[in-house]
Amino acid sequence: MIRPATISTLGPLRARPIPISSSLRHLSTTSRVTSQPHTRLSSNFFLSHTRPSPRAPPLGAKRSASFQFPAFPPRSFAAQYPITSLCARLVFSSILGLGLLTGVILLHDAFTYSERHVDRVPTNALALQPRKGGKKNLPILEVNLDDEEDEVKRDMKGKPRLVIVGGGWGAVALIQSLPPAAYNVTLISPQTYFAFTPLLPSACVGTVEVRSLVEPLRKLIARVRGHFLMGSAMDLDMAERLVEVEVPSDQGEGTMRCYVPYDKLIIAVGSTSNSHGVKGLEHCFQLKTIPDAQAIRRRVMTNLELAALPTTTPAERERLLSFVISGGGPTGVEFAAELVDMMAEDVLKYYPKLLESQVQVHVIQSRDHILNTYSEKISEYAEKKFARNDVTVWTNTRVQEVTPDKVIVTVKDPKDRDAKAVTKEIPAGFVLWSTGIAMQPFTKRLVDILPNQYHSKAVEVDSFLRVQGAPKGTVYALGDAATVHVGLTTELMALWEKFDVNRDEKIDFSEWESMAKYIRKQHPLASQHFEKIRDLFEQYDKDKDEKLSLNEMAEMFMALEKKVTSYPATAQVAAQQGGYLGHMFSKLAKQHKVLRANDMPDLDDEAYHSPFNYHHLGSLAYIGNSAAFDYNGWSFAGGLIAMYAWRSVYWSEQTSMRTRVLLMIDWIKRGIFGRDLSKF
Ligand code: FAD
Ligand code: MG
């Protein structure tokens, strides 16, 4: 039946057909539409093959015999069942799309296999047989095995040598912000990969796999055409600019030492755990590295299997299932949360129920609250969550000793500070030690050989991250290994000279204003203490002569220096510092040709760059199927949505798409199949 030419519109307008104008009709091209004018157009919204084509020939033009794909589903079916037809089309196009994608991936994969061979690689003789020298007459690795490989590498030989010691957060951020091929970069690290530490607690129980948290350093350094050297820095010869490195020898059985020359050395060796002088730490696990996470996972699974044996005595079972975590900071809390998740989600399902009911998780914290660097609200939220999950939180408690089967602690009464601490024993089948940081051996060595180094946990650097006491512009340190020191008292005389403009041996208010402005700019870490300059001036102008004497000034600087707290030992700080140095060196690289032409080896960093300024982007913590965020006094803690937000942040922070994909797969895998409970 041929209906009048109309376009049906949806809704109320349906009742009032709109006649198609003659010009619209001209847009119809197919013979069918021409022979059955506009009927299909008006009758079926879903029949796209009957929709007018924008490339339609004008009326009267000769129709060419063009090829048409067969319609799917057939037109008669589509006309009868428009919705089913649309669904069928969607399914068909999805299958087609997936098929095409798989085809492209397979094709790409096929092209990645190659049988390329390299013959006669040009190599410098000095790379194969390094000359010996330096104070200890060790081989000096001046030339790399790949220096003659291609034009770019040959060109790199003349570039300033940038040696980075360490392959963690700080080092990787630095590499990622350096311009490609501007420096002859060498990265030295005993590990061949960068590890994403914030997710290490998840790897301890198999929520994610360790392979999803690592990125090979060689891949990261390739961007700047740099070199990787597997080894550990041991010592430093600052006069000859040589860093002494221990590398494996005798097929990895032994070690040997060599020198790596540098123009600029960046120390990014991170930190180790602080023992706080506690006895028996050899019975504890640490959580700093990938092998640490693997060892913990092995021990957790071993304890569960041993506890599941009918031959295990009840007392031994109780001990095996007692997990003690010393340290109520983010690492300790996140590990405890992951452990509890695992017990509730997987152990309950696949092990005798008795085990889950006997598992005890203890978190020991020396302060009043866990997560004490976060807001009070978050600490309370975490404590309440742990109480609900039967995690025992021991606050105001210190570990005195760890033995193979127990932890001895002393507990203080927070209400009665004078009361004697009570000693208690906690049976333990597993102890995690995560209480603060200490120096790596290389950092310790550096602090020993340098003057003006007084910090007990890190090497002191100035606001440009230059190691104090080392020749200026040659040695930098960042991340956990470094602490920014604001040496106001040591700078006092220089500041006095600069700002006592009228030379009256006093600093009046206008001179003080300029001085405070300068200090705020040069020492961002201390800037908040130099904001109320009128108050400071009046507070330390003891004789009320409206001027500050040298003694008054010294007193003020000593008091303010004590108030300055260093940046926290976090990945966020390390990454920002790495990025800062990368930016600074990029700027310097642009001047390199001019400097070399003028026979100037280097520039003072102050001359071309501003000091390091940290921007806190907030803190995150996972607390067992929920998460907490803290940002400049604003805090938020919550359930699944917060947890997904927490995951998204870490997902976006990954160094590569590869680890992003792996992480996503791990999270989905855990959701569908649960954690892998195998023990290797
Ligand atoms: P690292 O990243 O520790 O890297 C040090 C590198 O130096 C390593 O590659 C090491 O092998 C290498 N090295 C050591 N000695 C030598 C040597 N002698 N010679 C050559 N190389 C050497 N921070 C956050 O901001 N958010 C978090 O959620 C968070 N969670 C954490 C969870 C865990 C379990 C841990 C352990 C830390 C966490 N941190 C977090 C802290 C963060 O990981 C550190 O602050 C950060 O790694 C410091 O970066 P870095 O570059 O100084 O040192
Ligand atoms: Mg004066």
pLDDT at 66: 66
Distance CA 366, CA 397 (A): 5
Structural domain ending residue among the three candidates 403, 435, 467? 435
Q: What is the pLDDT of residue 618?
A: 87
Residue 36 and residue 68 in contact, taking contact as beta carbons nearer than 8 Å? no
Placement of tokens 């092995």 in the chain: 298
Which of the listed residues 480, 629, 652 should we mutate to test ligand 1's pocket, taking the one with most ligand atoms within 8 A of CB? 480
Cis amide bond preceding 73, omega within 30: yes
What is the C-alpha to C-alpha distance for residues 47 and 56, in angstroms, rounded to an integer? Answer: 17
Measure 168 CA to ligand 1 centroid, in angstroms.
Answer: 5
Q: Are 310 and 406 found together in one domain?
A: yes
The two tokens of residue 172 are: 């990787």
CA dihedral 233, 235, 240, 241 (to 10 degrees): 40
CATH code of 342's domain? 3.50.50.100
- The answer, yes or no, to whether any atom of ligand 1 lies below 6 A from the CB of 269, is yes
Which amino acid appears at position 170 of this protein? Answer: G
Which pLDDT does position 189 carry in this prediction? Answer: 98
Residues whose CB falls within 8 Å of the CB of residue 67, separated by 6 or more in sequence, listed in order = none
CB distance 479 to 170 below 8 Å: yes
285 belongs to a structural domain: yes
Strand partners, 391: 361
Gap between the Cα atoms of 198 and 154, Å rounded: 39
Do 338 and 416 sit in the same domain of this protein?
A: yes
The CATH number of the domain holding residue 507 is 1.10.238.10
494 and 425, same structural domain?
no
Q: Which of 563, 595, 626 is the last residue of a domain?
A: 563
Q: Report the phi/psi class of residue 166: left, alpha or beta, with left for phi > 0 and alpha for psi in -120 to 50.
A: left
CA of 272 from ligand 1 middle (Å) equals: 9
Ligand 2 centroid to Cα of residue 476, in Å, is 36
369 and 515, same domain (yes or no): no
Residues 496 and 362 in one domain: no
Distance of alpha carbon 567 from the chain centroid: 16
Assess whether 302 and 428 both reside in one domain: yes
- In-domain check, residue 71: no
Is residue 294 included in any domain, yes or no?
A: yes
Which secondary-structure segment (H or E) carries 422? Answer: strand 422-427
Residues 428 and 290 in one domain: yes
Q: Check: CB of residue 345 under 8 Å from CB of residue 587.
A: no
Rounded to the nearest angstrom, the distance between the alpha carbon of 515 and the centre of ligand 2 is 11
Q: Would you say the C-alpha torsion 516, 522, 523, 524 has a positive or negative sign?
A: positive
pTM: 0.84
Q: Give me the amino acid identity at 38.
A: H
Phi and psi torsions of 392, nearest 5°? -85, 120
Clarify whether residues 428 and 299 are in a common domain: yes
Considering its fold, how many domains does the chain have in total? Answer: 2
In a domain, 389, yes or no: yes
Closest ligand 1 atom to residue 270 Cα is: 53
- pLDDT tens digit sequence for 52-76: 444 545 554 555 556 777 777 888 8
The confidence score (pLDDT) of residue 58 equals 52
CA of 443 to the centre of ligand 1 (A): 14
Atom 49 of ligand 1, residue of closest alpha carbon: 169
Which of 406, 435, 464 is the last residue before a domain boundary?
435
Does the residue 477 lie in any domain?
Answer: no
Question: Is 339 among the domain residues?
Answer: yes
Whether residue 610 has its Cβ less than 6 Å from ligand 1: no
Residue 3 confidence (pLDDT): 43
- Residues 503 and 398 both lie in one domain: no
In 144-289, which ranges are continuous DSSP H helix? 151-156, 169-177, 200-203, 217-221
| Cβ neighbour number for residue 98 with a 10 Å cutoff | 10
Does 390 reside within a domain?
A: yes
232 Cβ below 6 A of ligand 1: yes
Whether residue 497 is found in the same domain as residue 357: no
Residue 448, burial from CB neighbour count under 10 angstroms (0-12, 13-18, 19+): exposed
Closest C-alpha among 7, 2, 9 to residue 25: 7
Domain match, 421 and 290 both: yes
CA of 197 to the centre of ligand 1 (A): 7
Ligand located closest to 547 CA:
2
Residues near ion ligand 2 (Cβ under 5 Å):
500, 502, 504, 506
Residues with pLDDT less than 70, the chain: 1-66, 601-602
Q: Any alpha helices (H) in 65-167, and if so which ranges?
A: 75-80, 82-112, 125-128, 151-156
Q: 327 in the Ramachandran plot: left (φ > 0), alpha (ψ -120 to 50) or beta? A: left
Nearest residue by C-alpha to atom 53 in ligand 1: 270
For residue 199, the model assigns a pLDDT of 96
**Domain range enclosing 343:** 281-435
Give the C-alpha separation, 406 to 280, whole Å: 10
Q: Of 165, 147, 336, 283, which is closest to residue 225 (Cα–Cα)? A: 147
Tokens of 42: 């008006």
- Note the helical H segments in 113-203: 125-128, 151-156, 169-177, 200-203
Contact indicator for 264, 473 with CB cutoff of 8 Å: yes
Q: Same domain for 340 and 427?
A: yes
- The residue to which tokens 């006309």 are assigned: 79
Taking the C-alpha atoms of residue 621 and residue 636, their distance in angstroms, rounded to an integer, is: 11
Residue 289 is assigned to a structural domain of this protein? yes
